[in-house]
Structure 1
Amino acid sequence: MAPAHRIHYTYAEYLALEASSNVKHEYLDGQIYAMAGGTPEHAALAAAVIGLLFLELRRGRCRAYDAALRVGVPSTGLATYPDVTVVCGPIERDAQDEQAVTNPTLIVEVLSRSTEEYDRGDKFEHYKSLASLRQYVLVSHRERSVEVWTRDVDGDFTSAIARDGDVAHLASIGARLDVRELYEAAAEPGA
């Protein structure tokens, strides 16, 4: 039996698809992957992160973006849409893609059953190659916890977990994220 033929897409073909699609796609190594739709709980957590960060960032030099912002990783070719991206200072655009930024300071991914392994593993490896990235934040879908990966002066990442009642320190953007406040802001009214 002959192996299935794998189609290789150019980045230009990917951009054309994104411009005409109502579904977001991720691009890597000539492949285009439809991004899974999130649950209401996932969307509420991402919105709560942005809402809480907005209050702390509104007068500073950092700006929070939602999942509509595409982030390009030039060294690996990944193009994706993090749940929350924070850029400090002027944005830098991908040379091939004016709609993608390449200099996030902080990226937040809200975990889900279907994406947790990827977000913790391969995707994080791609993000690590972004010289501007100072912190990578994973918001749990199973429990009230926020995991913050921080790059040190040697370029290595170390993690700290903030649980219900703790505060996650986002020194890279001069902000903090109260875990209890985050999950309460994301809770369904009346729940």
Structure 2
Amino acid sequence: MSTIVRRHAYAYADYLRMDDATRDLKLEYIAGDVYAMAGGSVRHSTVSVNMTRHLANQLDGKLCQVGNSDLRLRVLTTGLATYPDVSVVCGTLQLDPEDPSGHTITNPVVLVEVSSPSTKDFDRGEKADHYRTIPSLRELLLVAHDARLIEVWRRHGDDWTLDVVRDTGQVELQSIACRLRLDDIYKDPLG
């Protein structure tokens, strides 16, 4: 999880003003609390960039947009506002009606979180629970930073199923017709 900035029952509008005013820091909003998001490691960055690049290449020319961790997401059903490592929106982009800046998406089809030692429990637990309430979300990937392992959560009606892909396997993203090889996602040209 991230470090709390101040425990206070902030309104969402207050959070937006704070987050938009902070250039060097990303803030997360959960149930009135505002948290400073922790920075990632070199390995985290490598895996996130590889994931973003491979998705963007495969979706080029389709009515989908791939966002990196600079794109804010709001879960309208729970109020969570955060910055997933990778997001994919297809079709019509829906922005948060309460964000006057127009910088917050609300309708991802795919979300990706790359774990770190400080966030892995939160990402797999509470944050994933928030994400699974997004009506448009079809697939959620929880990517290990320290092992070749991706948990793929898929929506089937009102239910979610889990597939775990390891080692040299590949992830089939059915909702966007993309295939991700773990060899490509975990490739590190510097070592």
**TM-score in terms of structure 2 length:** 0.92
Q: Is 1:131 equivalent to 2:132 in the alignment?
A: no
Secondary structure at the counterpart of residue 121 of structure 1: helix
Alignment of 1:17-28 (within 5 A): 17-21=18-22, 22-28=24-30
**Hey, what does 1:171 align to over in structure 2?**
174
CA distance in 2, matches of 1:7, 1:50: 34
Residue in structure 2 matched with residue 37 of structure 1 by the alignment: 39
Aligned residues of 2:7 and 2:34 also touching (Cα < 8 A) = no
Q: How does 1:92-171 map to 2 (within 5 A)?
A: 92-97=94-99, 98-153=102-157, 155-171=158-174
Amino acid at match of 1:111: S
1 CA distance for matches of 2:96 and 2:173?
25
**Cα distance between partner residues in 2 of 1:142 and 1:19:** 32
Letter in 1 for 2:114: V
What one-letter code is carried by the residue in structure 2 that aligns with 1:17? Answer: M
User: How many angstroms apart in 2 are the aligned matches of 1:12 and 1:61?
Assistant: 31
Unaligned runs of 5+ in 2: 1-5
**Counterpart residue type for residue 11 of structure 1:** Y
Matched residues in 2 for 1:135 and 1:7: separation? Answer: 33
Q: Indicate the percent of aligned positions where both proteins have the same amino acid.
A: 40
Which digits, 9 at most, give the CA deviation of each residue in 1:66-106, with x for residues without a partner? Answer: 00111001111100000000001111011211211110000
Aligned partner letter, 1:20: A
User: Tell me, what secondary structure is at the counterpart of 1:42?
Assistant: helix
Q: How many residues align?
A: 183
Task: Spell out structure 1 runs of 4+ moving beyond 4 A.
Answer: none
- How well do the aligned residues superpose, as a CA RMSD in angstroms? 1.3
Larger radius of gyration: 1
Q: Say if 2:77 is the partner of 1:72.
A: no
| Structure 2 counterpart of 1:174, one-letter code | A
Alignment gaps of 5+ in structure 1: none
Task: Give the distance between the partners of 1:72 and 1:80, measured in 2 at CA.
Answer: 7
Tell me the residue number matched to 1:62. Answer: 64
* Code of the aligned partner of 2:115: L
Distance 1:32 1:6 in 2: 7
